[in-house]
Amino acid sequence: MSLMSADVYLIIAEKPKAAAKIAYALRFKKAGGKSGVPFWIGRLNGAKAYIAPAAGHLYSLKPRSPGYPVFEYEWAPRYEVERGAAYTRKFLTLISKLSKSATAYINACDYDIEGSVIGYLIIRFLGDEKRAYRVKFSSLTPEDLSAAFKKVSPLDTGMIEAGLCRHELDWIWGINVSRALMEIFKAVTGKRYVLSAGRVQSPTLMEALKRQNERSTFVPEIYFTLDVWVEVNGKKFKLTNEFAPPLTREDSIRIAKYLRRAGEAQVVSVKEEPKSLRPPPPFNLPDLQTEASRVLGLSPSQTLRIAEGLYLNSLISYPRTNSQRLPPSLNNRKIVEGLSRINVYQGYCRKILSMAELRPASGKKVDPAHPAIYPTGYTPNRKLSRREWRLYDLIVRRYLAAFGPAAKMSYTTYELRVGDYRFSLKGGFIVNPGWTEVYRFINLRQKEVPRLREGERISIASVKVVRKYSVPPPKYTKVTLLKWMESVDIGTEATRADILEVLFKRGYLKQGSNGVEVTELGSEVASLLGRFFNEIVSVNLTRSFEEKLEMVKAGKMARKEVVKEAVEYLRPRLEEVKDLIKKYRSEEATYLHEVLGRGIKGRKCAICGRLAEGSTDDGVPLCGLHLRAYRNVISRYSLWKERSGVGFCKYLRSIIKSSKTGKLAKEIASYLMREC
């Protein structure tokens, strides 16, 4: 549809930077900004028009009552509801002022469900829903934007309803379950303490706990293999075994004897091949967070915060993006020229500028609203802090690398054999560092190998039987947990790092020696949630939200109906928790203690004192986790006996000594050692 004639239009953008791009596309002029919020004036459809920015959500859901269950809420300005949201007030003030002379409203926020809600609420509270339009664009380029404004639509009711529904569902689940947790905590400990649960944070906590439990009850497998070294011209090289490890000690000794007796290996084939390593695509936020952690040791949330600062200083593009592609319209030559004014990049920039065409590498990930992260080419007009500079440097180098030539390596692979046993020896060197010259955070592995001919025989210097242990799954770090969230598609680019920090703030997670640890509180909260609100610890809650929201968007289900379903689901569970708490208070019942794992009634774990869930073969009571560790310790022994021939007591001593064995498994082994 085209716009109806109106005297004055008010165009709402999602944020100041987007407003500026819309203004540029529509040739509007910047005005005001005295309040700290810029706006633009121009003409649209022959009539006067304003463009005013929001700053993301300006409204938020607010509870109508304390306590729980609570299903009464209303939309209110964010500065009234949230601490630290005072800055949103000036945005509302400006829009409200401009709205007085406006007679029609255009929602020009990002074309997704949140953008639909952001614009809609502003129009609902400060404008007029009945004289409102929506523009739809897939990028913020002048072409897309001016086309979008030539073909405006009525308000996108489906998207708005789906968006409102998402907010309401997250709110009623999150607020109610959080309040229930706090009430349980108070009943048990007598203390007030802030606890929380939510569709994204709780499955993440659960995942961290699951991994921790796997590790703490882990008992390694033992196996045996061979280390074979050859000697060429006085230099020793370790061979790679191209056969499955023999596993048992007995077989390994037998093969070792055979190899020693043979004394030499024959070169079966020689392969020399060039390998070319293409440059990586420019950063999206998850890639930037991963690399900033690896190279600079920054946490994902620190990276986002610093990147936001660089963005607000116009040094880099919008960082909350999932795209690994640069837009074709981007003037890369101009950006590289800009960067060449910074000394450290000058040499490499010159190389790039001498190329006839600048073609950046690009990845598979796309983002409808924003391109990959790139430097704007402006030089910093203030001194950057050390961290800012290092992150900026990482982004610039990654961007420049995208234009660079491939890195060239030369690899040599020898295939060797001794009888039926096959080995290989590989090495390589850099022919041309290519893009790694500028993105120097990559260490191309160079390894020296001797010069050998096919058919040549070389002497075996040594053969050793080595004992190996399998390793537990790795501890999560902030980065790998964030990647897990990404892999199961919960949270968004903009929120994942913050939600992780919430888990730390609540005291559910803490930074351990080389990764994330779940605290006692974290694991108790997780077990409470699993007992009373099982859905909230699973990623399936997000999946079911997505299905419902799709239906709301398509008009197949009403928002009210979806919300009602959630209320009907939650209400009885919340009442149940409330009743249990009452019972606990009035009758001194021990149930909540039990739920919290500090039971009074019943048998207790012989090792940690928690309520027992089972017992050993000799009838010793154990809690759930120690029972799991016990089963692992017992069941692993047959394999150890088969492969190494050790007796049970020696086995226990070995697993107690091994760094691979989990803490609880060690406790069980120590307990069992009493029989030795």
Partner DNA sequence: GCAAGGTC
| Chain residues in the site for DNA (CB under 7 A) | 14-17, 53, 55-58, 60-61, 63, 66-67, 78, 81-83, 85, 87-88, 110, 112, 114, 118, 166-167, 170-171, 173-175, 178-179, 182, 194, 196-202, 308, 312, 320, 490-496, 498-499, 502
Residue type, 542: T
According to DSSP, the residues that pair with 510 across neighbouring strands are 517
Beta-carbon contacts of 67 under 8 Å, excluding residues fewer than 6 positions away, are 179
Query: Degrees (nearest 5) of the Cα angle 272, 273, 277?
Result: 145
Least Å distance, CB 608 to DNA, is: 29
Least Å distance, CB 198 to DNA, is: 2
Least Å distance, CB 89 to DNA, is: 11
- Tokens 């892999």 map to which residue? 487
Least Å distance, CB 517 to DNA, is: 20
Nearer to DNA, 78 or 325 (CB): 78
- Tokens 């964030």 map to which residue? 482
* Rg, Å, the chain Cα set: 32
Least Å distance, CB 43 to DNA, is: 25
Nearer to DNA, 182 or 606 (CB): 182
Residue 400 token pair:
């420049």
Nearer to DNA, 61 or 656 (CB): 61
Of the candidates 213, 220, 207, 222, which has an alpha carbon nearest to the alpha carbon of residue 664? 213
- Tokens 């191309």 map to which residue? 444
Least Å distance, CB 17 to DNA, is: 5
Q: Please report the DSSP string for 173-239 in residue order.
A: HHHHHHHHHHHHHHHHHS--------TTHHHHHHHHHHHHHHHHT----EEEEEEEEEEETTEEEEP
Nearer to DNA, 200 or 292 (CB): 200
318 belongs to the catalytic site? yes
Least Å distance, CB 84 to DNA, is: 7
Nearer to DNA, 171 or 640 (CB): 171
Of the candidates 370, 287, 376, which has an alpha carbon nearest to the alpha carbon of residue 321? 370
Q: Which stretch of DSSP H or E encloses residue 630?
A: helix 624-644
Catalytic residue among 318, 345, 508, 584: 318
Label the pairing between strands 104-108 and 8-13.
Answer: parallel
- Return the biggest CA–CA distance within the chain: 98
Least Å distance, CB 508 to DNA, is: 10
Residue 229 token pair:
């070294």
Nearer to DNA, 170 or 250 (CB): 170
Residue 603 token pair:
């048998």
DSSP, collapsed to helix, strand or coil, labels residue 614 as: strand
Nearer to DNA, 179 or 397 (CB): 179
- Report the 10 Å Cβ neighbour count for 248: 16
- Distance in angstroms (rounded) separating the CA atoms of residues 362 and 198: 35
For residues 390 and 298, the answer to whether their CB atoms sit within 8 Å is: no
Nearer to DNA, 492 or 670 (CB): 492
- Distance in angstroms (rounded) separating the CA atoms of residues 541 and 485: 14
Of the candidates 578, 541, 567, which has an alpha carbon nearest to the alpha carbon of residue 72? 567
- Distance in angstroms (rounded) separating the CA atoms of residues 580 and 586: 10
Least Å distance, CB 21 to DNA, is: 12
Least Å distance, CB 667 to DNA, is: 33
Least Å distance, CB 207 to DNA, is: 13
CA 340 from chain centre, in angstroms, equals 33
CA 486 vs CA 157, 160, 480: distances in Å: 29, 25, 10
- Distance in angstroms (rounded) separating the CA atoms of residues 512 and 477: 9
Q: Which parts of 233-376 are beta strand (E)?
A: 235-238, 240-241, 264-277
Nearer to DNA, 83 or 130 (CB): 83
Least Å distance, CB 74 to DNA, is: 11
For residues 404 and 279, the answer to whether their CB atoms sit within 8 Å is: yes
Nearer to DNA, 490 or 652 (CB): 490
Nearer to DNA, 176 or 661 (CB): 176
- Distance in angstroms (rounded) separating the CA atoms of residues 492 and 285: 11
Q: Please report the DSSP string for 279-305 in residue order.
A: PPPPP-HHHHHHHIIIII---HHHHHH
Nearer to DNA, 84 or 328 (CB): 84
For residues 554 and 505, the answer to whether their CB atoms sit within 8 Å is: no
For residues 183 and 551, the answer to whether their CB atoms sit within 8 Å is: no
Give the side-chain half-sphere CA count within 13 A for 188: 24
Label the pairing between strands 407-418 and 264-277.
Answer: antiparallel
Query: Degrees (nearest 5) of the Cα angle 452, 457, 459?
Result: 105
So which residues are the catalytic ones? 318
